[in-house]
Amino acid sequence: MGYFREATGIPGPSGFGSASTAEQVTEGIDASGLTVIITGGSSGIGAETARVMALRGAHVIIGARNTEAAESVKQSILQNTPSARIDTIHLELSSQKSVRDFSDRFLSMNLPLNILINNAGVMYCPFKLSEDGIEMQFATNHIGHFLLTNLLLPKIKSTAEKTGIEGRIVNLSSAAHLTTYRGGIRFNKINDKAAYNDKLAYGQSKLANILHANELARRLKAFPKRASMLRQILFILDLLRRTWGDTQLSLLIPKFLSLAAVLRATTCVLWKSIPQGAATTCYVALHPSVKGVSGKYFADCNIEKTTANGRNETLARKLWEYSETLIKSN
């Protein structure tokens, strides 16, 4: 039913679907007492998420590599919503030092923290190691967010305990997690340049986002008093509509035709606008119907079933332990 609803725009059990926008799914919600951090809020879905969060009254902190772009987003939001509360802080997720500096800077502001949206990411990069010696897509998309979440979790917990308002952590993934390396995560070959494939490495990092969320949800449930006020929300955003098979398809298309144009024409019902793309993020971050939901996979504002790898508890625990060794060694 997921793809049928996606193609037709028919709402799912939540009352929303692929045609819903971020404003529609948050209509009537007052977020004026909330503080939210959004990584990668300087463009695209992240910027739209920041705009809608600010529109609903939340104090928005944009973490972005490009601070000029983030400031531009801030000014654009303020032009339309003069009362918006927005701050920007530099954040380079591929650098553990930058992640720690961001966390220190935010914590020094003495603000509460209700919602963390792990949105930023890189895609299909040529092989490159981060400054910490980790393959760039894995370092940026997973390790950076893993470290950031660990550093900010005490603040989210204390905010929930003081206010009685459930904290929410939103991990954005992608349908690309379907196309990863055999076994899901290549723990012994993360930095293997010879066997590197940019698409499979991206899928690996997106699967890691899912497993990270699942394991965090499991660990939080081990502490019932805190888990009642702090839930880990997992969201899968289909950023890469039908990318699997594009290379093969291009061989069948005459050279004078644009592959992008053909794909747009033949899959138009599956493409979303940016406001539609940001809808699920905003839905799981703010909507009251998601209260108490933990470790679930959402698409088009509805819970969907993920892959066997995405549900593998052993793989999730192994990834957590492996990720801890990477952040402790730097």
How far is 98 from 65, CA to CA, in rounded Å? 10
pLDDT band, residue 330 (cuts 50/70/90): low
Burial label for 303, CB within 10 Å (0-12, 13-18, 19+), is middle
List, for residues 255-271, the tens digit of each pLDDT value.
333 444 333 333 434 45
pLDDT tens per residue across span 165-220: 999 999 998 776 767 878 889 999 999 999 999 999 999 999 999 999 999 999 98
Instruction: State how far the Cα of 148 lies from the Cα of 171, in Å rounded to an integer.
Output: 12
- pLDDT average, residue stretch 307-325: 94
Residue range 273-283: mean pLDDT, rounded: 93
* pLDDT tens digits for range 40-84: 999 999 999 999 999 999 999 999 999 999 999 999 999 999 999
2-328 placed in CATH 3.40.50.720: yes
Annotated active-site residue 196? The verdict is: yes
List 3, 196, 202, 297, catalytic entry: 196
Q: How far is CA 229 from CA 29, 59, 112, 223, 225, in A?
A: 19, 20, 14, 11, 7
pTM for the whole structure: 0.88
Once rounded to an integer, what is the mean pLDDT over residues 295-310?
88
**Neighbouring C-alpha atoms within 13 Å toward the C-beta of 197:** 9
58: part of which helix (H) or strand (E)?
Answer: none
Q: Please state the domain extents for the chain.
A: 2-328
Question: Which residues are within 8 A (CB) of 277 and not within 5 positions of it... i.e. 6 or more apart?
Answer: 44, 45, 48, 237, 239
